[in-house]
Structure 1
């Protein structure tokens, strides 16, 4: 059944007008009046709903029964991703959401190719959050990972909470995932195209990140987080 995100309160018997993005989704799927859909707003629940009106730019749905469906991993995983080219960043956001991350912090590093003005950065941030919402619609998550605004490398390290395992994926890392104690919280740091500079790597290690080598091959910036997240979930999460 199609799943649609609504950025507002939901309650049984209420009628809501869906946001324009959801309305476009309805049009693409060629849904009709009286078709059934599932609505969610990120509060951890989902709602049965029936399409009541379909216009060119608006869709109205009548809300039915609420279900508290939890599809979250028990492992609290946060991705710190070096900002990379637009299509690669979108792929990372989409797949990281499917793999259960709780949040994504875009990190602006010395080798980040993408450099945006403040105005473009705000638009890109909203785009990133929309990519995550669309991924939640597809994968069934009812809790939406937060995409934080992009921050500089030093700012990200300074703002990290004390708790949890800190993992830096590095081609010359001295450790592997199987050798780490099972954590309850993980922060995974991935560099952009070209990787982190030696200075940034040293800063990360000084901040408590454990350099982990993920096989003998060098992975692209969009491959590394997805491979690592899948392995982390298999070792310590819900896979």
Structure 2
């Protein structure tokens, strides 16, 4: 069984042998799990630093620092807002499957709307991503961004550094003729997966994404629901790219 993961700020000095206390929700989590002295655990700040340690007298005693580097290529999911009962499921599944960043998208055919409640809705997605990351033993938390209102604004979410390569943007579309297995990912640093609403991506939106260099692809013969499409695509990317074979991009837990 792998070590439980707690997401909590790490002290500035957390070398081997040092100790610190967990606070807030993570302190309550230790009570729920009934942590006993000597039991191993991992604590990550979710953004690049993590330690393996053990529980002792109500504190975390650090055994070692863990190297944490992002997977390559980095994957951003542009997720059209699903119906309320499926939104958190979509975020949960894509977080388990390894999404690095999640951009909620107010697609024209999305039934659910965030008008007037953007921050509250985004926090729900953030909490779902955090919970799924802990359950799947992730050391890097998926970032949940502000709402994307128009496809042409997607470029603002990426580094404007001219030395950076442009992201490969893939639209999951049932009418696409090319499968994801035919896409060339050589040298690609960023992949963007665009997942439309249940009603599909409109022609106008397809044109706007196409102007950014996006290409429509399909995952297979089945038409997937918006809540599951990203997680299936992430699984495919794990096989088709170095993400699952990139041992430098993960830290072994347990």
Does structure 2 conserve the Cα–Cα contact (< 8 Å) formed by 1:71 and 1:140? no
Q: Structure 1 residue aligned with 2:170, among 167, 172, 183?
A: 167
Contact 1:39/1:49 (<8 A) preserved: no
State how 1:135-154 maps to structure 2 within 5 Å: 135-154=132-151
Point out the more displaced range, 97-106 or 164-173. 97-106
The 5-angstrom pairing of residues 53-64 of structure 1 reads 53=58, 61-64=59-62
Q: Is it true that 1:178 corresponds to 2:176 in the alignment?
A: no
Q: For 2:196 and 2:183, how far apart are their aligned partners in 1?
A: 21
1:196 equivalent in alignment to 2:201: yes
Gaps of 5+ in 2: 159-164, 245-254
Give the total of aligned pairs.
230
TM-score using structure 1 length: 0.84
Residues 171/26 of structure 1: CA separation in 2 closer, same or farther (3 Å cut): same
With normalisation by structure 2, the TM-score equals 0.80
2:234 equivalent in structure 1 = 229
2:20 alignment counterpart: 15
- Cα deviation for residue 160 of structure 1 reads 5.1
2:222 pairs with 1:217: yes
Q: Which residue does the alignment assign to 1:28? A: 32
- Where 1:31 maps in the other structure, the secondary structure is coil
CA distance in 2 between counterparts of 1:215 and 1:190 reads 15
The runs of at least 4 aligned residues of structure 1 exceeding 6 Å deviation read none
Sort the Cα spacing of 1:31 and 1:198 in 2 relative to 1 into closer, same or farther, 3 A: same
CA RMSD of aligned residues (A): 2.4
Query: Structure with the greater relative contact order (CA < 8 A, sep ≥ 6): 1 or 2?
Result: 2
Change (3 A) 1:169 1:122: same
Answer 1 or 2: which has greater strand percent.
1
